Amino acid sequence: MAKTKDMTNSSGQLLEIFWGSGSPFAWRVLMTAELKSVPFESRRLQFTEKEHKAPAYLAINDRGEVPTLRDGNFVLTESLAIMTYLDAEYADPPLFGRSSPATGLIWQWISVFVYHFDPLAVRIIAPVFGGVLDAFEDDIQVAAANLHSELSRVEESVEGNLWLGGDSVSAADIIGYCDLEFLLRIVGRDEVKRLRLGFDELEDRYPSITAWRDRMTRIEGYDKAYPPHWRIS
């Protein structure tokens, strides 16, 4: 039976979500939990203090990555798995589709982001974090061009529908949105802007994506899940 919003687990505890600010993977999970009004204990880990590499955390996530969910004795890693677990435990609103076509479309879009968009985005993000932009500039330009092809597909989809999976917000929107916002934050840095990757003209180039991003900011729990340190810097 799906849980109602005020239920605790069999040990009488709220489930816990371990996360770090700015992680798109953790953000997906927090957005899912907030959208569903899941009662949970927030366990924020400070990356700067290496709290995600502390022995107590490695005991539940031996990769030392966020997010992790703990529900009583049950521990789950991997953001997609956690989103699926939350959807199964807290049915309302369903984020993986109300019909077979909707479920299929949602997974199609999740796959597009996981298998196509994200690997391209990493080809830009990793050199930025590594401080090796110049050495990778040619590859960054190729990755950016391919990312624009992916964004054109998203544009076409949200031109006809409000949401990627159809007529209600779904896991595909959450995953796509968090991944896109993370990329836009990185390509918005001055040192990346000078490469002219074409993300500055987002609103003109992708008006339907712009409207979709705006819709995303109005979903239930959006503000609570927003990465807190992004509000400051």
What residue ranges bind ligand GSH (CB under 6 A)? 23-25, 52, 64-67, 78-80
Task: Record the tokens describing residue 168, joined without a space.
Answer: 């209600």
Nearest to ligand GSH of 118, 220 (CB atom): 118
Q: Nearest CA to 29 among 231, 224, 185?
A: 224
Residue 170 CB, shortest distance to ligand GSH, in Å, is 17
- Run of H or E including 172: helix 171-187
CB-based contacts of 224, cutoff 8 Å, min separation 6: 30, 34
Least distance in angstroms from the C-beta of 43 to ligand GSH: 13
Q: Is the Cβ of residue 32 or residue 79 nearer to ligand GSH in the bound state?
A: 79
The set of residues, in sequence order, having a beta carbon less than 8 Å from that of 181 and lying 6+ positions away, is 24, 213
Nearer to ligand GSH, 34 or 65 (CB): 65
Residue 144 CB, shortest distance to ligand GSH, in Å, is: 21
Question: Shortest distance, CB of residue 152 to ligand GSH, whole angstroms?
Answer: 25
Q: How many CB atoms lie within 10 A of CB 122?
A: 13
Paired tokens of 174: 């959450």
Nearest alpha-carbon partner for 168 in 122, 100, 231, 219: 219
CB of 186 to ligand GSH, least distance (A): 12
Distance of CA 140 to the CA centre of its chain: 22
CB closer to ligand GSH, 76 vs 216: 76
The residue (of 79 and 170) whose beta carbon lies closer to ligand GSH is 79
